[in-house]
Structure 1
């Protein structure tokens, strides 16, 4: 696609092809992230940003920068994620659509949670929810692919609570409402719930849930799910391990995703 774009003779056609290339690169970045290949994910998200700039599409460029910010927040790089989210806002300027505000605020919440800042994460979630509640019930505007609404903010709150070790943020959520979407996305939510149970001292419940998520990760060969499962396991430090934890360790022992 990059070669076809470079070969285009007309500036308008070249810009349109660059926008398509940006979306394709973003998809490859997401797939790399799902495989647990963070180096390739960063490379392809960077390609998506450069292509969006070549397309002269500020909304697309901001979306791609925000997508990289979201990735870095999940990777635990709080400062970088916040800087990228700020760049995305600058690209859009004051005329940004409400969905951009809602989404970028949720990304900022994830970044604050990655940095251990509960107060700032809560404030960002409040801003995100306020913006999300004003959005019309309609297909999301391009380049957003999935609708963003209060349910998405609730899911982000659960993820933030899991990162911050706040059982009340996680376990007070409407888990049935969070159970939509693809099975891989549900597995990530289940791992956040497992982290919440672990923070509340419910080890058996935590690793029963985490074990279910691992099976989904293995079935879909999702490195992201398995990396998150390992992170949940690392958060438990005991010398005498319950049977459910030993079985969890044995299940992951020979996994190389």
Structure 2
């Protein structure tokens, strides 16, 4: 006789509560969320299926509250394991009982703070945050395979600290943990080309942001999550996540730069999905938002966007749309405006310029830009930049007999570059 598989605890609780199917539970959770005052929250059967799988993800804070209220059991009793480790049985029992007793207003502040026997000192939050800041700066100069393990290890430390932190220290640790997971996800997606792993890491980042009750950080994480479906042409999936990102941004004081970045992210997703006209409209709106500005400043962790990056976004979309003279102008403008701190992105812009010149019938100029991209990649590796160089070579297919293209092949497929690319 075969043993049952999946999260049998949640399945048993579902059946005991009278919900014979995953669809029944999903509909009941959605209705219960509305009754609790969590407007706009919708839980689908796909989510319930993931919760009943062999490795159920730790639900977001609002979902936790609805599950606990509806089924009358703690998260651990329902088969879930928090990413920062389980507390003792007495604390777990107390947590879910308080969640059952509290109303939606009190719950919105986050999960019950654990009262540890020996709580972390107030300095723990600042100390943990200091390392997070250092990793953020190191991202732009350290090779991703070397930095990623350190970032993940730092996240594990944050998960260990979080249950023993209270009040403002807990919020500081949770926010820094969210940023750490966001950085790990960025490395996995943009540098290591592991979108599935990145998506799971972004979910951990979002959960930590919920613990910190940081809507702006939550918005940034959700926008990064939109890249995952967007880059494979899943427009509906990308737009759903962008809608969530914009909703979170409206709950707080977002800077003009942050709002323009949201436009740029959605524009890149639209471009990847073949809607360049919509993308260019979004980029135009982003330029207007930046020009108008507002009274809010950007958070220190937002170091991945600038007017130069927006120009690079624009040039890439114009290139894909076939607007070659405009693309060349935008990309050259981006190069001129980039600071030394943005050198990692230069390989991408050089690659796009190379594609523009190849499409314009100038293989010599195209190869020169591709060579500059390879020069930059030798200094700071970036998988997205290497992808652009490969696009250049495909664009130069009809010129394969040209001397400059053969020279490019010699560089693209020399021992160092080949091993470097394949090993990553």
1:48 Cα offset (Å): 1.8
Superposed CA deviations along residues 66-94 of structure 1, whole A, max 9, x for unmatched, are 12334654x45451333322220122336
Superposed CA deviations along residues 36-84 of structure 1, whole A, max 9, x for unmatched, are 33244334333222221222111110011112334654x4545133332
Q: How many residues align?
A: 255
- Aligned equivalent of 1:114: 272
Relative contact order, CA 8 A, sep 6+: which one is greater? 1
- Aligned equivalent of 2:258: 100
Q: 2:299 aligns with which of 130, 141, 145?
A: 141
- Aligned equivalent of 1:22: 178
Superposed CA deviations along residues 128-163 of structure 1, whole A, max 9, x for unmatched, are 1111112269963354236644x4432210122233
Q: Does structure 2 conserve the Cα–Cα contact (< 8 Å) formed by 1:36 and 1:224?
A: no
1:176 Cα offset (Å): 5.0
Matched, 1:170 2:330: no
Judged with a 3 Å threshold, the aligned counterparts in structure 2 of structure 1 residues 176 and 25 are, in CA distance, closer, same or farther, namely same
Q: Does structure 1 conserve the Cα–Cα contact (< 8 Å) formed by 2:209 and 2:215?
A: yes
User: Which shifted more, 16-25 or 128-137?
Assistant: 128-137
Q: Does structure 1 conserve the Cα–Cα contact (< 8 Å) formed by 2:316 and 2:352?
A: yes
Q: 1:218 aligns with which of 378, 383, 399?
A: 378
Q: How high is the TM-score relative to the length of structure 2?
A: 0.54
Determine the C-alpha separation between the residues in 2 that align with 1:192 and 1:174.
8
Tell me how large the CA RMSD over aligned residues is.
2.7
Determine the C-alpha separation between the residues in 1 that align with 2:166 and 2:251.
31
- Aligned equivalent of 1:191: 351
User: Which shifted more, 212-221 or 123-132?
Assistant: 212-221
User: Which shifted more, 155-164 or 208-217?
Assistant: 155-164
Determine the C-alpha separation between the residues in 1 that align with 2:303 and 2:380.
22
Matched, 1:124 2:285: no
Gaps of 5+ in 2: 1-156
1:177 Cα offset (Å): 5.1
Matched, 1:51 2:211: no
Q: Does structure 1 conserve the Cα–Cα contact (< 8 Å) formed by 2:223 and 2:241?
A: yes
Judged with a 3 Å threshold, the aligned counterparts in structure 2 of structure 1 residues 14 and 136 are, in CA distance, closer, same or farther, namely same
Gaps of 5+ in 1: none
